[in-house]
């Protein structure tokens, strides 16, 4: 039996891998009811728009991995912070993208899912 922390790490890694494959149904399974995503610029989207955004990422996604994953377990959920590192090939050029994130996980039906996600400016 895995600890809550291990389950959250696994859920985070599964989401990153699903994004890398553009597996929209697997991504949707990772999202909690009422999911919301906010960019550091302030834009807010729901689950449907979030999935469309991933579907419309230009180019070929080569990889999506997580770095510096930190988890704070709280009575009502879990705060997860880290850096997402993605590599995408666009017009023959590889774009290397690192962006910090904050995710709020909740347990729904015995599974840890993301309720809210925030992209932050790239780390220095």
CB 68 within 8 A of CB 58: no
pLDDT digits (tens, 9 = 90+) for 12-63: 999 999 999 999 999 999 999 999 999 888 899 999 999 999 999 999 999 9
Give the pTM.
0.91
Tokens 């699903």 found at: 18
CA gap 39, 121 in Å, rounded: 9
Distance CA 42, CA 78 (A): 22
Per DSSP, 122 falls in state P
User: Tell me, what's the pLDDT at 1?
Assistant: 84
User: Which domains, and CATH codes, for the chain?
Assistant: 4-119 (3.10.450.50)
Look at residue 46 in the predicted model and tell me its pLDDT: 97
Residue 123 clears pLDDT 60, i.e. is over it: no
């Amino acid at each position: 039996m895995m600890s809550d922390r291990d389950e959250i790490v696994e859920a985070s890694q599964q989401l990153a891998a699903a994004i890398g494959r553009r597996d929209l149904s697997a991504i949707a399974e990772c999202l909690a009811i009422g999911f919301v995503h906010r960019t550091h610029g302030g834009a807010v989207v729901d689950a449907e728009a979030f999935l469309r955004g991933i579907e419309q990422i230009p180019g070929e996604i080569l990889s999506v991995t997580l770095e510096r994953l930190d988890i704070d377990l709280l009575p009502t959920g879990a705060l997860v912070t880290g850096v997402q590192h993605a590599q995408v090939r666009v017009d023959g050029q590889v774009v290397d993208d690192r962006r910090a994130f904050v995710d709020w996980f909740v347990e729904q039906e015995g599974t840890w899912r993301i309720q809210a996600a925030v992209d932050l400016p790239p780390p220095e």
